[in-house]
Amino acid sequence: MPKGKKPGRPLVWSRRRLIDGIRFRVRTGIPWRDMPEEYGPWMRSYDLFRRWQRDGTWQRIFTALQARADDDDLIPWDINVDSTVARAHQHAAGAR
């Protein structure tokens, strides 16, 4: 987890709580404004999410977790290619 760069007034909402709110929002797919209050103000969670998205923090976290899981052989790297073709009826394509 990245460390904060600014000294000064302590945060009212802990970063852990904001991250839990981001995880809840991503998992459920709800709009940001509908986040429960237990995770803090939705604007703070959104700001943290966007800042980390722009500077690549989420990608670094994902890469580190994926590398750790790969080291523990928790990721099966099997590839399944399906070459089935599903054709639509001629009327589904707009034909007359």
Identify whether 72 is part of a domain.
yes
Q: If pLDDT is split at 50, 70 and 90, which confidence band does 42 have?
A: very high
**Which range of residues forms the domain containing residue 31?**
15-76
pLDDT above 70 covers a percentage of the chain that reads: 83
Is 59's pLDDT higher than 80?
yes
pLDDT tens-digit map of 3-39: 666 666 666 678 889 999 999 999 999 999 999 999 9
Identify whether 28 is part of a domain.
yes
Q: If pLDDT is split at 50, 70 and 90, which confidence band does 80 have?
A: confident
> What pLDDT shows up at residue 9?
64
Taking the CA atoms of residue 36, residue 49, residue 13 and residue 28 in that order, the dihedral angle to the nearest 10 degrees is 20
Contact yes or no for 44/13 (Cβ under 8 A): yes
Identify whether 93 is part of a domain.
no
Query: How many domains does the chain fold into?
Result: 1
Which residues make Cβ contacts (< 8 Å) with residue 57, sequence separation at least 6? 2, 51
Identify whether 86 is part of a domain.
no
pTM over 0.75: no
Cα 56 from Cα 50, distance rounded (Å): 10
Identify whether 56 is part of a domain.
yes
Identify whether 25 is part of a domain.
yes
